[in-house]
């Protein structure tokens, strides 16, 4: 166990860290930001993650739709997120040229975020929901730890915004058609993941519905990240 005692961690940044069972005792925490998979978080004796989740659901009812087990609600949630993405991209196109490549606070740029969602669709939808063995889109963007599983990605790729958006539109239409016809039985079935090595290795044993939820959650979360960063770029 790593122990920090009487350390000044002001302005520290922890990125892609596993902080499970981390204990912060007697700390001073002002103007802090926590953004990630947070559950069972105790603050001064109160479990707060459920309050946070409930408030986010109140502010953004689409979150309830994209967590549903009903295909009609999943489809409606997906369409709402897609409409929001369209508005965000239109906003981006009205900003100075090159903003799509600008990073804020070390996060992915908007075009990198879109390329990551292309990868998410290839893996979590095509591979996990449809059992596809087709090659992934080469310009997909992933965190470094994924690279050992996906050697076919082109790290030198530099597609234009129009090229990425065109791929996204094709993928969106594909997912829309599938959600329009998928049955409850098909959603409940085990994910038909091919045997070949690839991302995500931990998806085996999950249901098709579990994998769809990942796709939609990624779409929603990264939309929020992009809107946050465009707000700062527009200041």
Q: What is the CA radius of gyration of the chain?
A: 19
Query: Do 207 and 189 touch, CB atoms closer than 8 A?
Result: yes
Q: What is the DSSP letter of 36?
A: S
Helix/strand/coil for 210: helix
Question: HSE-up of 111 (CA within 13 Å, CB side)?
Answer: 17
Burial code of 20-59, b = ≥16 C-beta within 10 A, e = fewer? eeeeeeeeeeeeeeeeeeeeeeeeeeeeeeeeeeeeeeee
Q: How many CB atoms lie within 10 A of CB 197?
A: 10
- Closest Cα partner for 218 from 136, 118, 71, 87? 118
Superfamily classification of domain 68-233: dinb family like domain (1.20.120.450)
Q: Which residues of the chain have pLDDT under 50?
A: none
How confident is the model at residue 111, as a pLDDT? Answer: 98
- Closest Cα partner for 83 from 166, 161, 172, 164? 172
How confident is the model at residue 43, as a pLDDT? Answer: 87
How confident is the model at residue 208, as a pLDDT? Answer: 98
- Closest Cα partner for 200 from 185, 213, 186? 213
How confident is the model at residue 3, as a pLDDT? Answer: 79
How confident is the model at residue 17, as a pLDDT? Answer: 81
Residue 47's H or E segment, with its range, is strand 46-47
How confident is the model at residue 190, as a pLDDT? Answer: 97
What are the sequence ranges of the domains in the chain? Answer: 68-233
- Closest Cα partner for 206 from 148, 142, 125, 132? 125
How confident is the model at residue 150, as a pLDDT? Answer: 87
Please, which residues bridge with residue 42 across strands? 47
Q: Is the peptide bond before 200 cis (omega within 30 degrees of 0)?
A: yes
Distance from C-alpha of 206 to C-alpha of 211, rounded to nearest angstrom? 7
Residue pLDDT, tens place only, 94-146: 999 999 999 998 899 999 999 999 999 999 999 999 999 999 999 999 998 88
């Amino acid at each position: 166990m790593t122990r920090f005692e009487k350390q000044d961690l002001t302005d520290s940044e922890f990125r892609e860290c596993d902080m499970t069972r981390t204990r912060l005792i007697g700390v001073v925490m002002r103007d802090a930001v926590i953004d990630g998979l947070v559950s069972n978080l105790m603050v001064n004796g109160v479990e707060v993650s459920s309050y946070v989740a409930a408030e986010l659901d109140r502010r953004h009812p689409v979150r309830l739709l994209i967590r549903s087990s009903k295909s009609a609600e999943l489809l409606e949630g997906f369409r709402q997120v897609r409409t929001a993405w369209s508005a965000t991209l239109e906003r981006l196109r009205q900003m100075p040229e090159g903003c799509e490549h600008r990073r804020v606070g070390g996060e992915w740029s908007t075009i990198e975020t879109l390329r990551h969602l292309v990868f998410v669709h290839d893996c979590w939808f095509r591979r996990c929901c449809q059992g596809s063995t087709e090659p992934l889109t080469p310009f997909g963007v992933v965190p470094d730890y994924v690279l050992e599983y996906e050697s076919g990605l082109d790290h030198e790729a530099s597609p234009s915004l129009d090229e990425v958006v065109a791929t996204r539109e094709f993928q969106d239409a594909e997912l829309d058609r599938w959600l329009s016809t998928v049955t409850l039985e098909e959603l409940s079935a085990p994910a038909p993941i091919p045997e070949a090595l690839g991302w995500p290795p931990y998806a085996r044993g999950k249901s098709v519905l579990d994998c769809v939820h990942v796709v939609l959650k990624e779409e929603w979360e990264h939309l929020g990240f992009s809107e946050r960063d465009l707000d700062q770029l527009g200041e």
